Amino acid sequence: MKRVWRGIGRAIFWSYERGSWPYDVMCGLILLFVLLTPRGWFHDRPQTSLLASGLVQLIMQDSTAGTETYRVDAKAFRPDKRATRATPELERETHDFLDRTADDLKGQPFQVRRIDPVFTGDGSVAAYDVTIKR
């Protein structure tokens, strides 16, 4: 039993000499894990272009007031970040999201003036109309 615990300890602390058979076995196991583990186990989803997928659309420009209104799909935010009314946290999330995704807003200062949720028939939030001022 002592031999088993010693082997486990050496495996955890990686104390095998390079080129020894236990070292090669450990490297092989790691390689198999990396290559054969299903992607879904880690909830790894490749991030697609958000503008190309239609998550952000410029829907109105008011040049006299200097405002623009963007429609941001609710799918752009995690479910726990979605809100049925404007909150400071939602305002911060939409500002950061627009700053990252809207090409004409990247690197430019702007202020979120208004957030209006757009509801579906069942009462859930489908999108947000976000009015910004530069």
Residue pLDDT, tens place only, 99-120: 888 877 887 899 999 999 999 8
Prediction pTM value = 0.58
Residues 117 and 124: their CA atoms lie apart, in Å, by: 9
Per-domain residue ranges of the chain: 2-42, 56-133
Q: Does residue 72 contact residue 125 with C-beta atoms inside 8 Å?
A: no
pLDDT digits (tens, 9 = 90+) for 44-93: 655 444 444 578 888 888 888 889 999 999 888 888 888 888 888 889 98
